[in-house]
Amino acid sequence: MKHVIALDVGGTGMKAALIGADGTLLHQARRATGRARGAEAVVETILDFAAELHDLGVERFGAAPSAAGVAVPGIVDSAAGIAVYAANLGWRDVPLRDLLSARLGGIPVALGHDVRTGGLAEGRIGAGQGADRFLFVPLGTGIAGAIGIAGRIEAGAHGYAGEIGHIVVRPGGPECGCGQRGCLETLASASAVSRAWAAASGDPEADAADCAKAVEGGDAAAREVWLAAIGALADGLVTAITLLDPRTLIIGGGLAEAGETLFTPLRKAVEERVTFQRLPEIVPAALGDTAGCLGAGLLAWDLLATEVPA
């Protein structure tokens, strides 16, 4: 059976799968990234994990995987197959595509950015199906974005397209790791809500999920924290809508797990802010934490589809 390897590498864990030509998940596995052991050890863990999947494919389906796709965080040069920089993994200029291909017997390997790869999956087989233009925004530790155009994800001239988390929505606001102040992700990410609610509630262990539950329970202080984050998020999203004019706006990540506690006030806040712009449909992501892995599989199949026969 023809199949590909899909790998989604995160800061703490890795998700992997063998995926058939029709998109069927033939095998799934997870493993700790082990970043505490250092950058080189993480690379070796990825290579070993991929090699195990390769051998499993041979054993179970009687043939080696046809290709592999891998999604990684940070700055990615997909064309060159290089993981340029990933702060949470300690990577600089890791030639991951070539390393994986060599370990996997020379099969073709596609390398992608984690959020753009997740966006590819949401666009093709998730919440964005049928939308010729969409924006995928996961609200997690930070905030990023993937711009979907006619079945593909726009990377930009230098691979930085979609970095909506670094739109300044509150000039002079909280300092961001990028060097600016008042970036969207310092105010509306899951980690930002967690920080704000921990301070407001007096519980240092409180997080964004606790804040959402308190909002649902009618807590006034929680509602103030929640609506401040939603206001900042709506400002950033309207900027993106003005620039990109998406048909569908897909919201994912940890904050989206709050369901209508997030989406009802968010839709209202965005609608209040648009003037001449056309309001996109605002929907929750459909694939959850499997989006990156499924997208990596799509990258692998796309690579095979574009290969020129010898």
pLDDT tens, 268-303?
999 999 999 999 999 999 999 899 999 999 999 999
CA-CA distances (angstroms) from residue 302 to 4, 25, 251, 268? 11, 17, 25, 38
- Residue among 250, 239, 234, 249 nearest 280 (CA): 249
Which residue(s) pair with 212 in the sheet? none
d(CA 24, CA 91): 32
What integer pLDDT is reported at residue 310 of this predicted model?
46
The alpha carbons of the chain give a radius of gyration, in whole angstroms, of 20
Amino acid residing at 117: T
DSSP state of 254: G
Q: How many CA atoms lie within 13 A of 200 on its CB side?
A: 21
What integer pLDDT is reported at residue 242 of this predicted model?
97
- Residue among 17, 51, 28 nearest 298 (CA): 17
DSSP state of 14: E
Contact between residue 187 and residue 197 where contact means Cβ atoms under 8 Å apart: no
d(CA 309, CA 234): 48
For 39-72, letters b (16+ CB in 10 Å) and e give eeebbebbbebbeebbebbeeebeebbbbbbbbb
What digits encode the pLDDT tens for the residues 167-190? 999 999 999 988 999 999 999 999
Report phi then psi at 196, rounded to 5.
Answer: -65, -40
Stretches where the chain sits below pLDDT 50 are: 310
Contact between residue 223 and residue 258 where contact means Cβ atoms under 8 Å apart: no
Number of C-beta neighbours around residue 143 at 10 A: 28
Six-digit token pair at 296?
């990596």
d(CA 294, CA 110): 13
User: Would you tell me the crossing angle of helices 260-273 and 208-216 to the nearest 10 degrees?
Assistant: 90
**pTM of structure:** 0.90
Which are the contacts of 231, defined by CB distance < 8 A and separation ≥ 6?
269
First to last CA, the chain: 22
d(CA 134, CA 249): 6
